[in-house]
Amino acid sequence: MAWIAQLLFPRRRRNRRELAARAMEVVARVLFDVGVDRFRKGSLLVDAEFRVRFVSGDVPGPVLAAVQVASLAQARARLPLELDRSPLGAALLKRRVALVVQEWLGCVLAQSAELRARCRRGVSRCFCGRPRPRNRPG
């Protein structure tokens, strides 16, 4: 029954961690489907319905924010030209994709005030899994 509810009432990704997790899924899929070269020539965007998308051509329709992958320093420096499909290569690629997504998320949030407002602030952990420092009166 739960999957029927998910089909009929799709949940919108609302916090930064979920947005980053979806971006990692999109980047990993694109890297394996079209390759690193075409990935570097495209753009990652968040559309008006709060979905993360990759486009290789012009940015379509209304978007909250779009960043060209070529403008991300982590994408230029960290992603190899050839993908290693071994288990060790997959683990290394996952970490490199996380660094690319972290930089992308910073650029996207800096670009769009609406996106910053729609992302909830109540996430207790940052994207990399470390607890956020809290300012507590002492």
**Of the candidates 80, 73, 81, 34, which has an alpha carbon nearest to the alpha carbon of residue 57?**
34
pTM for this model (two decimals): 0.72
Q: What is the DSSP string of 106-120?
A: HHHHHH-HHHHHHSB
* Spatial contact of 19 and 13, defined as CB atoms under 8 Å apart: yes
In this structure, the number of other CB atoms found within 10 A of the CB of residue 109 comes to 17
Tell me: the pLDDT tens digits for 43-86? Answer: 999 988 888 999 998 888 888 999 999 999 988 887 776 666 67
pLDDT score for 44: 93
